[in-house]
């Protein structure tokens, strides 16, 4: 008798999907169309990641949250710049057919900075996330942005 495979953990989810695991699949197989439609209706492009720092570290090291934010911003800007330079070379670093056409479609729907950092640039998405979090019973009260971000990052 063959043992049933275990579900994949979140860091390896994508690998499980790509490897064709029978235990893992996409909730919405037509996710691109649905995500583009959602963005067109709401102007919200779902965030991919969140950086969390323990309160004690932020308390003990003033400026840490800003330093971490700026480091991630520099890394994102470097990656975006490499992407833009590569596009001028017809996406040769990806070797994906029609990649330039995909990027052109993305530019039709999305602003230049596809993944903007910062509270101001993401206020609509953050407010929606906090509202959904409360409406779905994941929090006992509806939090405000000021409740979940350190004051250093609020401006």
Give the tens place of pLDDT for each residue, 74-123.
999 998 888 777 766 665 566 777 877 888 888 888 888 888 889 998 99
Banded pLDDT at 13 (limits 50, 70, 90): low
The per-residue pLDDT for 145 is 94
Q: Report yes or no: 51 and 149 within 8 Å, Cβ to Cβ.
A: no
Domain presence at residue 108: yes
In the chain, how many domains are there? 1
Instruction: Give the DSSP H/E element, type plus range, for residue 38.
Output: helix 31-42
Give a yes or no: residue 101 inside a domain: yes
| Structure tokens given for 9 | 């953990």
Quick one: what percent of the chain has pLDDT higher than 90?
Answer: 44
> Is 18 within the bounds of a domain?
no
pTM as predicted: 0.72
Domain that holds residue 133: 42-153
Beta-carbon contacts of 123 under 8 Å, excluding residues fewer than 6 positions away, are: 145
């Amino acid at each position: 008798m063959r043992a049933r495979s275990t579900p994949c953990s979140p860091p390896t989810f994508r690998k499980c999907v790509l490897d064709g695991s029978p235990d893992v699949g996409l909730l919405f197989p037509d996710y691109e169309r649905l995500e583009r439609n959602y963005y067109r209706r709401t102007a919200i492009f779902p965030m991919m990641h969140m950086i969390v720092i323990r309160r004690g570290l932020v308390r003990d090291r003033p400026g840490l949250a800003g330093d971490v934010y700026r480091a991630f911003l520099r890394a994102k800007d470097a990656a975006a710049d490499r992407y833009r330079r590569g596009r001028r070379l017809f996406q040769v670093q990806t070797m994906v057919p029609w990649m330039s056409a995909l990027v052109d479609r993305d530019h039709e729907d999305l602003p230049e900075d596809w993944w903007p950092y910062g509270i101001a640039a993401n206020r609509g998405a953050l407010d929606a996330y906090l509202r959904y979090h409360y409406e779905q019973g994941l929090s006992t009260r509806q939090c405000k942005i000021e409740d979940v971000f350190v004051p250093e990052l609020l401006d």
